[in-house]
Chains A and B, each alone.
Chain A
Amino acid sequence: MRATELVRLALSRLGSSRLRAALTMLGVIIGVASVVSLVAVGQGATSGITKQLQGLGTNLLTVNPGATTTGFTRGAAGSANTLTIEDAQAIAALDGVAAVEPEISTSQFVVAGTENTTTSIIGTTSGYTTVRNFDVWQGATLNQAAVDARLHEAVLGATTADDLGLTASSIGSTITIGGLPFRVVGILQAKGSTGPVSQDDQILVPYTTVQDEFVPGDKLRTIGISVASAGQIDTVKAEITTLLETRHDIAIGGTDDFTIADQAQLLTTVGGVSDLLTLLLAGIASISLLVGGIGIMNIMLVSVRERTREIGIRKAVGARGRDILAQFLVEALVLSVLGGIFGIILGVAVSYLIGSLAGWGFVFSPVTPLVAVLFSLLVGVVFGVWPARQAARLDPIVALRYE
């Protein structure tokens, strides 16, 4: 028999008991929908996190001071106050380094008109917006002239500007930071939060000014480096290590007084974890698909029993065992595949809803529905074959006499 005949037969049969068909399909619908939506949730979360991490800076390396060792006692990371602006300048001269920015930070009370806030003040250079991947929304970013002249100029993060009631027209106005007047030269584009600390709640000022007014000395908290291309990250990292070891007189095999953090490493780790999570979610969801498949098998077995006489009639008028097998198998397949299709529609709708509520947008990978349909097809075959074989093996004489 041709496939179209079998599908027509199955559809007309299922059409004559719609409620039962719908309820049987429901198991597969729920199974497939949960696989599709949970995988989408996993992928959405992954891409959301990845996007935010990439937002921290492209090919970003950060050098932080390491731990001090006093005698035999090792202090906390960052306690060694060893990084200097000369280190930053030396790093800038290395091959493969696109931009470098030094950072000194402090927390200060800030007043603008009647509004006030307390926020972190980053003393840095014009390189900051490049390395940290910020766009300027209004005005300009810090420039080298301001750093050299130690000017009281400030570039505000989007949240800080908002908190202080500053808008596009506030460029050029004066605010006070730690009691000192600063001129607002720019406001940055908002980036969204990365974890608990918002990158949008900060004020950039020339590092020289911070050294003058708030944090005396020439030590840096961090040096941010943008590597020219992703492929050069490891090389540049090694170059920086060698350079700083030389500059800080650290013997070969000695303990470094700095650490270099690598954005790519973080991305790989996070990606690995969330891939595992996605797989786990899909695994749990596929259990419900399995249950749906058992539902189909159950109904098909009942159906074979109920239609014993029909099977006898069909055999008497010339149906072979394989015709009966095909008829019942295709019925199970139509149930599971229709269920799969409805399940995909439902699953896509649910993942769209979750995606827009969670704010990572709608992630749709065409692979998921494809896999879901193939899987439901497999469910149909696996759970349809046994009932269909039962039907095909019926003795026509017994089947015809069956009441």
Chain B
Amino acid sequence: MSGALIELHDVSRIYDLGHVQVAALQGVDLEVEEGEFLAIVGPSGSGKSTMMNILGCLDRPTGGTYSLAGTPIAELDDDGLARLRSRTIGFVFQSYNLLPRTSALENVATPLLYQGVSRKDRLARAQVALERLGLGDRISHIPTELSGGQQQRVAIARALVTEPALLLADEPTGNLDSASGAEVMTLLTQLNAAGRTIVMITHDAEVASRARRQVHVRDGRLVA
């Protein structure tokens, strides 16, 4: 595989609202190597959510090229994007986004369902992932029975269970109290130290400072 894990060249994302066109991203160039821990920092409305959607293959750029793990995503149809997400990306969201009324174990096992892994293997791997995050005694709890910090750790376990090349975290501490937030940041730092590539999107300079590299987004453009 040649080059970096993430390669963005002159990427733009323009929303066509009929009478007016809004550029959420313009002329973005970005490379992220394997093993990096990058923070994309910006205030709300800066285009960082659009960055997140494009990096996470939930959305396509309207201009420029994006290659993830050597795959140019412009060549993929919706199913191809889903497959790429399934194999390459683990998502961690601000609001955890766990499946409601579903146990921690089933939640963590869900991404493996879409990789066609057998139920027995799914549950075994989900169990291991939860234990690794210190949640071995919470596997049958449903989200509402868990604290915010615990829910976010379940979400991280879910993101990691597929062993993705990229962990994409969107404001991972946004909904957490400072103690739980610090815990999650420590966890991310440890994961990166163990070799996991992490891209984190945040508006919080303090959180961003935990990353090894930062880029700033302002008005849809990357600034130094």
Measured CA separation A1–B101 after assembly (Å): 22
Kindly state whether residue A369 has any CB partner on chain B within 8 Å: no
Contact with B along A248-285 (1 / 0, CB 8 A): 00000000000000000000000000000000000000
| Cβ A1 vs Cβ B93 within 8 A | no
Known contacts A1-B113, A5-B113, A318-B114; A397/B59 CB under 8 A: yes
| A397 x B58 contact (CB < 8 A) | yes
B114 with A321: CB separation less than 8 A: no
Cβ-closest chain A residue relative to B122: A5
Separation of A5 and B78 alpha carbons in the complex (Å): 22
Shortest CB–CB separation between residue B93 and chain A, in angstroms?
7
Contact residue among B86, B99, B119 (Cβ-Cβ distance under 8 Å from A313): B99
A317→B99 CA distance, assembly (Å) = 11
Also in contact, A317 and B85, with CB within 8 A (given A397-B53, A400-B97): yes
Give the residues in chain B near A1, CB-CB below 8 Å.
113-114, 116
B97 and A313 contact, CB distance less than 8 A:
yes
Query: Within 8 Å CB of A323, what residues of B?
Result: 82, 114
What is the predominant secondary structure among interface residues of chain A facing chain B? helix
With A5-B119, A316-B58, A316-B85 in contact, do A310 and B99 touch (Cβ < 8 Å)? yes
The answer on a CB contact under 8 Å between B101 and A16 is yes
Q: Which residue of A lies closest to B100 (CB)?
A: A310
Q: How far is the CA of A68 from the CA of B15 in the complex (A)?
A: 97
Most buried by A among B58, B59, B79: B58
Known interface pairs A5-B119, A400-B93; A317-B110 also in contact (CB < 8 Å): yes
On chain B, the number of residues with a Cβ less than 8 Å from chain A's Cβ atoms is: 27
In the assembled complex, the CB of B156 is this many whole angstroms from the nearest CB of chain A, namely 13
Q: State A2–B119 Cα separation when bound (angstroms).
A: 11
Closest residue of A by beta carbon distance from B78: A321
Contacting residues, chain B, for A309 (C-beta < 8 A): 97
Once the chains bind, are B58 and A396 in contact (CB under 8 Å)? yes
Residues A322 and B79 in contact in the complex (CB < 8 Å), given A316-B97, A317-B85: yes
Q: Shortest Cβ distance from A191 into chain B, in angstroms?
A: 63
**What is the total of A-B residue contacts with beta carbons within 8 Å?**
63
> By the criterion CB–CB under 8 Å, are B100 and A317 in contact?
no
User: Smallest CB-CB separation from B87: which chain A residue?
Assistant: A318
* Chain B residues within an 8 Å CB radius of A314: 99, 110, 114
By a CB distance below 8 angstroms, the chain A residues around B99 are 310, 313-314
A320 touches B119 (CB 8 A): no
* Interface flag for A315 (CB, 8 Å): yes
Q: Cβ of B59 and Cβ of A318 under 8 Å apart?
A: no
Q: Is A94 among interface residues, defined by CB-CB distance under 8 A?
A: no
User: What's the least CB distance linking B64 to chain A, in Å?
Assistant: 19
A319 proximal to B (CB < 8 A): yes
- In Å, the complex CA distance between A209 and B97 comes to 100
**Chain B contacts of A310 at CB under 8 A?**
99-100
**A310 to B53, alpha carbons, bound, how many Å?**
17
In the complex the two chains form, is B58's CB within 8 Å of A318's CB? no
B residues neighboring A (CB under 8 Å):
53, 56, 58-59, 78-79, 82-83, 85-87, 91, 93, 97-101, 110-111, 113-116, 119, 158, 162
A-B contact pairs, 25 of them (CB 8 A): A2-B116, A5-B113, A5-B119, A309-B97, A310-B99, A310-B100, A313-B99, A313-B110, A315-B58, A316-B56, A316-B91, A317-B91, A317-B110, A317-B114, A318-B83, A318-B85, A318-B86, A318-B111, A319-B82, A320-B82, A320-B114, A323-B114, A396-B58, A400-B93, A400-B97
Chain A residues close to B by CB (< 8 Å): 1-2, 5, 8, 16, 309-310, 312-323, 396-397, 400
